[in-house]
A = this chain, B = another copy of it.
Amino acid sequence: MKKTADTLQSTQVKLSSDTIELGIGQPDPDLLPHDDIKQAATHCINNNYSTSMLPYGHEEGCDHFRQELSQFLSRHYRQPVSLDRLFITNGNSQGLSLICTLFCHSGDTIFVEEPTYNLALKIFADHHLNVVSIPMDDNGIIIEELEEKAARFKPNFLYTIPSFHNPTGITLSQKRREQIIALSQAYNFLVVADEVYQLLHFGTPPPPPMADYLDSDTVLSLGTFSKILAPGLRLGWIQTGQYLMSKLVDAGVVHSGGGLNPFTSGFVRSILELDLLDPYLDKLKGIYGRRCRVICQTMSKNLPSTITFKEPEGGFFVWLKFPSDIDTKAILTKARQDKTGFKPGFLFSCNRNTTNYARLCFAYYGENQLETGIKRLAGSLLKP
């Protein structure tokens, strides 16, 4: 019922309801925590949290909620996270837009990874930024390229997705994280780290988040409840050092409107106080981990050996590499006829490169549908 075209925002094509669109990069609607939200609503009401949910909130967000969030993050990052370093947002998309407003002028240059999250590119375009891409290898962004371009372009910031990268699934190595911080200080740019998948690992956790380097005063670490609880909440946070925090708190939107989401913060405060998030996150990791294995195994068995990929250890996505003369956009047309789909690679490049790649999401569909989708795709590829 839920998985119809109705929920397919950002997918420009009308799909038939039996299409398995592996391009959709969203949490599975069937896994959304409806019962936890109901419990939280009752808790919230019984404890009269509305006194802090209904007025204008503090610029940085509700203290009670930030306290709960700091404890949650301290537990999962295995590092103390101070509530003084947390600025509450409406999720990472709006956090990113706020950062563009506060730290850039139109025409300024920023860096992204090649490839990068396709829809972040639209946010940067809205802010009229000059986007320069830095290539990646299996360990993340290539440091020599970053240094050479930093010297040349003097970017305002680097936008990076360090863990279980969208679209590649790659995790930036510990050593490169440190090198990026050193370069950000040497060349005076900010590191805007989209740490949306940091907590969604299926076994070994990734290296500590970029939020570990707040002392550099160059890091803005963006986190969100969209992938670990529910995207409709539009609730996230920016973890940052003292100086950058003072810039966020001084933004006109929070001077005028107060905290960015006091109402929803009250509900999620209840979710955290009731200890509902940890078990829900464990459940998600188990399910997504199994789905990841299923999609990878099915691809290994059914796709031609000329198509390669690396099995991700977390996140939402697997990144397929086709032979270099293949444009996946053309393949998509065939796949759609066979009632499946993916996101073609060119979307993730600010230069419209990576045309011989495809991003598949294993989070949105169940194991059986993933198998069926991949088999349809394999069949589609065999056709002339």
A-side residues, CB < 8 A to B, are 2, 7, 9-10, 26-27, 29, 32-34, 37-38, 41, 44-45, 48, 50-59, 90-94, 96-97, 100-102, 105-107, 117, 119-128, 226, 230-235, 251-264, 267
A120 surroundings in chain B (CB, below 8 A):
252, 256
Is A10 in contact with B255, judged by CB distance below 8 angstroms? yes
Please name the 5 residue pairs, one residue from A and one from B, whose CB atoms are nearest each other, closest first: A93-B257, A122-B252, A123-B252, A119-B256, A232-B262
A90→B117 CA distance, assembly (Å) = 24
Partner of A252, one of B106, B124, B235: B124
Q: How far is the CB of A261 from chain B (nearest CB, A)?
A: 6
Q: How far is the CB of A244 from chain B (nearest CB, A)?
A: 15
Is B50 in contact with A45, judged by CB distance below 8 angstroms? no
A38 surroundings in chain B (CB, below 8 A):
45, 50
Is A54 in contact with B231, judged by CB distance below 8 angstroms? yes
A2 surroundings in chain B (CB, below 8 A):
51, 55
A101 surroundings in chain B (CB, below 8 A):
97, 100-101, 126-127
Q: How far is the CB of A295 from chain B (nearest CB, A)?
A: 21
Q: How far is the CB of A50 from chain B (nearest CB, A)?
A: 5
A253 surroundings in chain B (CB, below 8 A):
93-94, 97, 123, 126
A105→B126 CA distance, assembly (Å) = 9
A267 surroundings in chain B (CB, below 8 A):
263
A252 surroundings in chain B (CB, below 8 A):
93, 97, 119-126
A117→B57 CA distance, assembly (Å) = 19
A48 surroundings in chain B (CB, below 8 A):
34
Q: How far is the CB of A229 from chain B (nearest CB, A)?
A: 9
With contacts A34-B50, A41-B41, A253-B94 taken as known, whether A232 is within 8 angstroms of B55 at the C-beta atoms is yes
